[in-house]
Chains A and B, each alone.
Chain A
Amino acid sequence: MEKTNIIDYTNAKYYENRELSWIKFNHRVLSEARDKSIPLLERTKFVSITSSNLDEFFMVRVASLKDMVHAKYKKPDIAGLTATQQLEKINLATRELVDIQYSTYNRSLLPALRAQGIFVFDRMEDLSEAQIKSAEHYFEEVVYPVLTPMAVDASRPFPLIRNKTLNIAALIRNKEKENVFATVQVPSVLPRLIPLPVEEEGHYAFVLLEQLIMHQIGSLFSNYEVLCTSPYRIMRNADLPIDEDEANDLLKEIEKQLKKRQWGEVIRLEVDDGVDKELLGILKKELETAGEDVFKINGPLDLTFLMKLSGLEGRDELRLPPYHPVKVPELLDEPNIFDAIKKGDILLHHPYQSFQPVVDFIRQAANDPDVLAIKQTLYRVSGNSPIIASLAHAAENGKQVTVLVELKARFDEEHNIVWAKKLEKAGCHVIYGLVGLKTHSKIALVVRKEEDGICRYVHLGTGNYNDSTAKLYTDCGIFTCSEAIGEDATAVFNMLSGYSEPLSWNHLVVAPIWLRKRFLKLIRRETRHALDGKEARIQAKMNSLCDPDIIAALYEASAAGVQIDLIVRGICCLKAGLPDVSGNIHVRSIVGNFLEHSRIFYFYNNGSEEYYMGSADWMPRNLDRRVEIIFPVLDRGLQKKVRRILDVELEDNTKAHILMPDGTYVKPDKRGKVLVNSQHQFCDDAALALPAEEKIFKDRVFIPAEPVKDED
């Protein structure tokens, strides 16, 4: 008790830098690629994921750290590091990650693929004659016409190399024996993997497009002698909005600096590790890249092509059997979703359970004559979203449809504007987000005029209204027609429409105004209980944990004796198991085939347990700069189901990684223990919840009628 007064829980030494923690997460993803118990093509997928993750990381995080350095912003981060220090550490850590990435690819995946008769050639020299012939033919027919080689000389300046594109640099010599630099972009419209003929049936062979182009580069510069070539790829500090995770004063600081900044500064240059010195020198000079930003890669640049490879047709045995989300038992016998919700709150656990009910919810509402209005927030939606179609349809049917479209959803901005316009055309009332806040909450409200008055049906979720990602992300949602939640839901939309906030809320907790305080209150309540000698426990599952206030409150709770179990998939700035600080905190991260995405919060509350779910992580941006909704799970039956989710994930010893006091993540010791894979377990759970006849796959069979026999 006394110690708690002495320890300063906000001391930077108790915190992990978020970028380094993020890199650790990618190590965990990469470890899936090395897990031999996983089917081979699934493993290639994980390498591809780390590759695209790393790209995004550079574009967003590293870029904004660079901005800080340029702006001479000196304020240290949560772990006490300045931007320059962070960049140094990130540089080392990413190099280590990239090394493992390529050693996984070269030493583990490629041999394993070869053993399965799948050949990915990184050098034309390895091809057979027939294959070379076929590749050359492909080059002439398909590739050559779309190439635009560009040489750099006195009259032709260095061209603009576009962000994230793969290019080939070449040093060529003209007849005057002068060395000339030339570059050609590997066309992004063509597939990276070019299929090659194989002799053996069931075998596959591919060569990478850039290799083929390098092989044929002579035909592009016919009057020149090609001295050397190398693929390269750059990452620019694109003109993206400043990442909002930092303090407001930073934003102002950077805005001032923005004008002075060189447009689209290069923050990473990837080259083949065998690149010619002179060639690299030219690239570095022309792209104004510092030595520490050059990454020499031992293998093909940009491994995202492995995602395509993992979908290789005809090799299903190298993949996990596709999982089909099962139906929701509560909705089996009830074609009308509103009648089903009337019977009681319904919990949906995606992707184990189908996302279809959510789609149906909006679709049925659009066609239901009793429905007056549909209101929904949309953050990221799928390409051809049935939800958007239903919303438009509802508006055409004369329903009042209000849709909040978040235009600031990163990387989805353009996509969102297009379909927002579509909704407007259909007659929906479209709200384009709130100034200064991202609307991240996931809520849908259907107002229905029934016999005994207005009834409000609400869907609240932890994931986006996106039917494609709902098959890959683990998320939870509830349907309810509780009057109190309905009132709150209406208030949320009134607030989003620009009206005054309600004087108070019934059940929903809404960020940015009330959520942080509520979480701190809930944590401190457990602390109080622990100090009073009562049992106290917190369990929370989220994607990232990096809010300093919350972490300090958790440390305080831990020191007071609260048992804290955290399931944090990605970034975790909290350090677990530090004596006197976080001795009672256990952190695990589950990285599996599905992307863990749900947010669940549990507080023991001296026996009257409370469960919450919602759209917010414990991150400053979620708590302060976004509209988020956390909702309590009130129904006892539903609470049990949520309990089950937490229990199984806390027992997972297959896909879980445990955070150690030294900041590393290790897989738990499985010796003598029953193996628990939470994602598999939930698949089984979902199937078991269905009545027997639903489990049998119903195939449509036409039964031919028997010929009628004569009576005699």
Chain B
Amino acid sequence: MGVTTFAAIYIGSYEVSLKVFEISGKKRIHTVDFVRSRVELGKDALYGQPIGYELVDSICDMLHEFLRIMEGYKVDDYKAFTGPVMRSASNCLFVLDQIERRTGIRLNLLDNSEHRFLSYKCVSSKQEFGRMIQESAAVVNVGGGELQITLFVHGEVLTTQHLVLGTMRLAQLVGASVRLDHAKRQMKELVDKEMEVFKAQYYQNRTIKYLILTGDYSLEVMRRMDKNLDNTTVDAQKFSGYLKRLEKKESAQIAEDLNISNETDVLIIPSLILYRRIVETLAADAIWVPGIDISDGIAYDYALSHRYVKPVHDFDKDIISAARSLSQRYMSYSQHIDALVEMSSLIYEAMKKVHGMGKREKLLLQTAAILHDCGKYVSFANAPECAYDIILSSEIMGLSYRDRVIVACIVKYNTYLLDDYDEVSDVLDQEGYLIVAKCASILRVANAMDRSHKQKFKNVRASLKGKQLIISIEAEDALMLEKTMFDAKAGMFEDVFSIKPVIREKKIYL
């Protein structure tokens, strides 16, 4: 038929939803049905409490209904996800298991990074996105439990920050018992505190052109506004002015103004307060609300991975540029890094048949190469551990938490000897351990070759010959240090690949 019907199920911090899509060449990704039901997981789970059985029951009931609806549309495939909210519940694994036993639906647990990345992916598929990030833009994704801000300048990711600040969390923090005007003030203070720190740390006096905003009710606010000349964005000052006027009203009045159907939703006011503070802090010129949510992201990701749609944005480039600016932030960026990335890529390519890894792993290796020195910002003596911690705590749009663990371990074992699997099995699965071992040994060899950080090589080539990896180089300078280091670092490479790296030097005399 040429049309694939796909369904995305998502369990968020305050809502269980099912979105049915049609994916085809002609219509691209088209929403057919969107069913939402209020189930407030966040009330228990955001604070690490277990999710109660009543909630599990209502989730299961909902999912049974969803299965019926999906059957009604004869969906070809579906994906079910749940967000960070489930992860933070103390009985997360039991709940997931119960849900699967009772409904047959296996929920994929997204971590915050994956969650934001899915939405971001979908935003990036829009035409306007490319244009905006080429200038400068902040992509802000507001959820129930947290929000994430990614800054782009000239098409490159500058930083991604994950703030533990969401609409549901705000509503919970302030509580229902407080008088509305007090509640509003408290929420504002909470948001201000976080946003100020963010601004001081990552934003300073920067200005950006576009703010790309996703989150509930943002589209409704957008609809009330006159569009700018580009027919897509609205003026940021007008936007925040309108929000300010709205904030003064009762939620019922706001709901009427915005044509929101559920006027008793306690999340309306927190959303508006958050949006306004974000808009004011980031001081963008114009605001674009693409009106997509996580379900659109899931569908887009599905379409992408099944090649129903072509990718329009290079996410790998985002990762590299994000890693690079992270490296800059910790003052570890230098020409050595570029040389190292190049060198490790070279070895990676030459060893392809031996290591059997793919494009994704290469990206992780490159990321590790870029970040391998960032720990020195904190401590020279404990640089590997510090780098490990920095990487684990930094959001890099496009990398999941597991990805980040791998990158952090590659960096760590660039310096230290590889631990046995048993020692690291708490953070790495076996597959991840192998990736770490392989990439770390490549990185060690590549790093050894530029030990003096002076890039003494030219025209480096690497090729496999029998049991040897021949790295031929042209050098003008003395390579004593490098050669010594090389032998010291090559041991692990041999252990992992059963291949011995060898340097063939061709001295150039000027």
Interface residues of A (CB under 8 A from B): 372-373, 400, 429, 447, 449, 451-454, 490-491, 494, 497-505, 513-514, 517
Q: Which residue of A lies closest to B73 (CB)?
A: A372
B261 with A502: CB separation less than 8 A: yes
Given contacts A453-B3, A454-B22, A494-B33, contact A501 B262 (CB under 8 A): yes
Which chain A residues border B34 with CB–CB below 8 Å?
Answer: 491, 494, 502
Q: Mark B40-75, 1 if CB is under 8 A from A, else 0.
A: 000000000000000000000000010010011110
Which chain B residues border A505 with CB–CB below 8 Å?
Answer: 259
Task: Say how far A509's CB is from chain B's closest CB, in angstroms.
Answer: 11
7 additional A-B pairs beyond A500-B37, A500-B262, beta carbons within 8 Å, are A373-B73, A451-B1, A453-B27, A490-B33, A497-B65, A500-B261, A514-B259
Task: Say how far B87's CB is from chain A's closest CB, in angstroms.
Answer: 24
B261 with A449: CB separation less than 8 A: no
Complex CA distance for A504 and B36, rounded to whole angstroms: 13
Complex CA distance for A451 and B256, rounded to whole angstroms: 40
B73 with A454: CB separation less than 8 A: yes
A499 partner, pick from B32, B35, B260, beta carbons under 8 A: B35
Q: Is the interface of B mostly helix, strand, loop or mixed?
A: mixed
Q: Which residue of B lies closest to A517 (CB)?
A: B256
The total number of A-B Cβ pairs within 8 Å is 70
B26 with A452: CB separation less than 8 A: yes
Given contacts A452-B24, A504-B220, A504-B223, contact A400 B71 (CB under 8 A): yes
Given contacts A452-B27, A454-B32, A494-B33, contact A503 B261 (CB under 8 A): yes
Q: Mark B3-14, 1 if CB is under 8 A from A, else 0.
A: 101000000000
Which chain A residues border B74 with CB–CB below 8 Å?
Answer: 372, 449
Which chain B residues border A502 with CB–CB below 8 Å?
Answer: 34, 261
Given contacts A453-B24, A504-B259, contact A499 B1 (CB under 8 A): no
- Is B38 part of the binding interface, using a Cβ–Cβ cutoff of 8 Å? yes
Which chain B residues border A499 with CB–CB below 8 Å?
Answer: 35-37
Task: Say how far B64's CB is from chain A's closest CB, in angstroms.
Answer: 12
- Is B219 part of the binding interface, using a Cβ–Cβ cutoff of 8 Å? yes
Which chain B residues border A500 with CB–CB below 8 Å?
Answer: 15, 36-38, 261-262
Task: Say how far B264's CB is from chain A's closest CB, in angstroms.
Answer: 11
Which chain A residues border B71 with CB–CB below 8 Å?
Answer: 400
Complex CA distance for A499 and B65, rounded to whole angstroms: 11
Which chain B residues border A372 with CB–CB below 8 Å?
Answer: 72-74
Task: Say how far B453's CB is from chain A's closest CB, in angstroms.
Answer: 55
Task: Say how far B443's CB is from chain A's closest CB, in angstroms.
Answer: 48
Which chain A residues border B259 with CB–CB below 8 Å?
Answer: 504-505, 514
B5 partner, pick from A400, A454, A513, A514, beta carbons under 8 A: A454
Complex CA distance for A503 and B71, rounded to whole angstroms: 24
- Is B30 part of the binding interface, using a Cβ–Cβ cutoff of 8 Å? yes
Task: Say how far A497's CB is from chain B's closest CB, in angstroms.
Answer: 8
B223 with A447: CB separation less than 8 A: no
B3 with A452: CB separation less than 8 A: yes
Nearest 10 pairs of A and B residues by beta carbon: A501-B261, A400-B72, A500-B36, A453-B22, A453-B3, A373-B72, A499-B35, A454-B32, A499-B37, A494-B35
Complex CA distance for A416 and B215, rounded to whole angstroms: 43
Which chain B residues border A453 with CB–CB below 8 Å?
Answer: 3, 22, 24, 27, 30, 32
B24 with A503: CB separation less than 8 A: no
Task: Say how far B438's CB is from chain A's closest CB, in angstroms.
Answer: 45
B260 partner, pick from A373, A454, A490, A503, beta carbons under 8 A: A503
Q: Which residue of B lies closest to A503 (CB)?
A: B220
Given contacts A494-B33, A503-B220, contact A513 B261 (CB under 8 A): yes
Q: Mark B198-229, 1 if CB is under 8 A from A, else 0.
A: 00000000000000000011011001000000
Which chain A residues border B262 with CB–CB below 8 Å?
Answer: 500-501
Complex CA distance for A514 and B258, rounded to whole angstroms: 12
Which chain A residues border B26 with CB–CB below 8 Å?
Answer: 452
